[in-house]
Structure 1
């Protein structure tokens, strides 16, 4: 080894730290400029990008017309804010009551000096690179953070079902709404749906959303980020409504080759009386032609969920495949007193999958070699707060490489990514994060399956990854459950 070689040799730790520092130095604006630079920019040493396109990517379909994006208007505080020490009987009494959260969770807490942030937001990307920090987390310390956001609801929203949907919070979180704890989050990869109907205020009487995030908690041995790193949505629905993730539509091929689409709608009702309703399901082909429509009636009790089911016959649909990902539109309407009060629009695909010990995987009865990758969700420059357009770029790059399958390692991925997988023709292994049979963690697995059960891209479910207990009697019993 020459003297120059000894002088330039660096350790793996230093190499990774330098790489992380380079990612931090690239701002989202620089990444965006590189994204449109084309091959010439790549040749000049910029980030490698696919060729420029003349058209915008397909606009995502509006699945739920009652949802509106709530990514702006958030205030953020880096670091924890201890709760005040409660003293005296009066203070102790009041603090134990609904709506009386203390400290930074209180309704009237002064957050005027907190900076505003736009979601998705990964605060760990702004943390310095430290040689003594955890290599698995990118040499960045994550810590704690707080978010607050005021919300004004129109007086006309009174009497409607209201919900806030958090796409993903890294990692553990406590959520308050108007001074009351409304949810705890035990995973950085599952969504959190919060029913705020009973606590909502209207007009100039503002609502306050508060989220305390504990990013010290780790679920993986990779970069996990910190904060509200996926989209947040506000949902407004009629008093009688279709529940979130409440449409199950799984196309089935019968013994004679004819297809059907069994449709089950899970309904809710916040009214004081039962509601007589009709469900109307309509299947539309890729050219906009109606293929089938059917209705079914039911009565939804007050404050109790109810399922209404029907079946659509489809003789010879176009099949979904990795080379031709044909998607049909399923529009499900909830009708009450002759008026549509809620609806969902899903993209579904007709396909069969099976594995054979001798010939391997078959898609639509044809053998297909699965050529896939394992992908984590972080990206240089943005951490885990990956813009939807950047995800679409990554998937296009994988297609260019000949990839037809993805295992999202090792957790639930954002719904916007799965939308693109359905549209672009990827086979997906949808993976659970925590191998644990306690109620909180079983609920995470149930949420994953319920959310992704209609997708043609999802062909496999994974309950764990590389678990030391997987070959033990205890591991066997856990999987059985």
Structure 2
């Protein structure tokens, strides 16, 4: 099958005590997983092949000849053709098979494989993998199990690896999460400031709590508001019961006295720290930054931020970094 856009096929291989990890380790270099970190960067020790090959989704497939690399990665800026004025410029060629569909870059099909070891301490915890961005048409397997297909190239996506583990390119970061059965859902914290004045701001924190266990669970959700330097300025807690194999939304409202406004000149941010407890045991804790500001649009004044009119200037700015390709290099993104 021919694809004009970049077609990606990804394989995650997990080594564990039930799969004979030592035998598979002769084929690849397994990465160690930190059992104490809830979410950890998963960019290291991937294998890559720019080709379409049968059977590469199987754990037994030998990929020892594939290139070893660290993500993020963009193969469209590799192996550049000879430069020719008016025909070839950097990674862009008029003869590209994808033409405008691939931005006159090479496109094609690529495979990525990664083998990693989950520590025994993982136990009954839930393990998931999050891709910040894969361009595009990404099929993902784990130990031969097809986890899913993600067609869009610009949005993040998550797969639950727990049922399947035993014991162009991926141009953005990849993260591995190990959490308890009761935890905050992915992107499960939302902070809004519905009322803002110079004397006080109302802060609403909505938390989605997930229970992937087999029995209903009472939990306590605590929210701390912190300043940019980590000082706690308010806190609250609320109890809820999360049904087995269910989820519940917990909304809490706090007051922030004399808030510092977020603005273009002074982008000050607070932090909301959410902690989930069962009895005295902490089962999950996450935080998210937020700014306090007011925005308004109308036909007479245009856009105002904190009651100050600001002219909006736009541009056609793509996600890539020119000759650096689409790779999300942190320094280049700045």
TM-score bracket relative to the smaller structure? 0.7 to 0.9
Matched, 1:132 2:132: no
Other structure's SS at 2:331 match: helix
Other structure's SS at 2:105 match: coil
**Partners in 2 of 1:236 and 1:122 — Cα distance?**
28
**Partners in 2 of 1:287 and 1:245 — Cα distance?**
24
**Partners in 1 of 2:219 and 2:225 — Cα distance?**
20
CA deviations on 1:263-287 (whole Å, 9 max, x unpaired) are 1111112222111111000101224
Does the 8 A contact of 2:196 with 2:292 survive in 1? no
**Partners in 1 of 2:109 and 2:185 — Cα distance?**
32
Other structure's SS at 1:156 match: helix
* Aligned-residue offset at 1:152: 0.6
CA deviations on 1:149-203 (whole Å, 9 max, x unpaired) are 112101110200111001111110110111111121010111110111121212x
The TM-score with structure 1 as length reference comes to: 0.57
1:330 corresponds to which of 249, 272, 275: 272
Map 1:381-420 to 2 at 5 A. 381-392=323-334
Flag structure 2 segments of 5+ consecutive residues without an equivalent: 1-35, 82-92
Does the 8 A contact of 1:65 with 1:344 survive in 2? no
Which residue in the other structure is 1:268 paired with? 210
* Aligned-residue offset at 1:386: 2.9
Matched, 1:294 2:246: no
Which residue in the other structure is 2:25 paired with? none
**Partners in 2 of 1:235 and 1:289 — Cα distance?**
27
Flag the 1:166–1:256 CA change in 2: closer, same or farther, 3 A. closer
CA deviations on 1:274-321 (whole Å, 9 max, x unpaired) are 111110001012243222100011111221121122111123211100
1:112 corresponds to which of 56, 60, 64: 64
CA deviations on 1:100-133 (whole Å, 9 max, x unpaired) are xxx1111211111111111001111114344311
**Partners in 2 of 1:105 and 1:65 — Cα distance?**
28
> How many positions carry a matched residue from both structures?
286
CA deviations on 1:440-479 (whole Å, 9 max, x unpaired) are xxxxxxxxxxxxxxxxxxxxxxxxxxxxxxxxxxxxxxxx
Matched, 1:284 2:236: no
CA deviations on 1:16-57 (whole Å, 9 max, x unpaired) are xxxxxxxxxxxxxxxxxxxxxxxxxxxxxxxxxxxxxxxxxx
Q: Over aligned residues, Cα RMSD in angstroms?
A: 1.9
Relative contact order: is structure 1 or structure 2 higher (C-alpha 8 Å, sep ≥ 6)? 2
2:158 corresponds to which of 152, 177, 193: 193
Which residue in the other structure is 1:147 paired with? 112
Matched, 1:340 2:292: no
Which residue in the other structure is 2:298 paired with? 356
Does the 8 A contact of 1:107 with 1:178 survive in 2? yes
Which residue in the other structure is 2:317 paired with? 375
* Aligned-residue offset at 1:135: 5.6
Flag the 1:65–1:354 CA change in 2: closer, same or farther, 3 A. farther
**Partners in 2 of 1:117 and 1:199 — Cα distance?**
25
**Partners in 2 of 1:156 and 1:341 — Cα distance?**
15
**Higher Cα Rg, which structure:** 1
2:192 corresponds to which of 237, 245, 250: 250
Deviates more, 1:183-192 or 1:246-255: 246-255
Matched, 1:71 2:49: no
Flag the 1:168–1:332 CA change in 2: closer, same or farther, 3 A. same
Does the 8 A contact of 1:260 with 1:314 survive in 2? yes
Does the 8 A contact of 1:269 with 1:305 survive in 2? yes
Flag the 1:255–1:138 CA change in 2: closer, same or farther, 3 A. closer
**Partners in 2 of 1:114 and 1:306 — Cα distance?**
45
Flag structure 1 segments of 5+ consecutive residues without an equivalent: 1-63, 83-102, 203-225, 393-481
Flag the 1:309–1:69 CA change in 2: closer, same or farther, 3 A. same
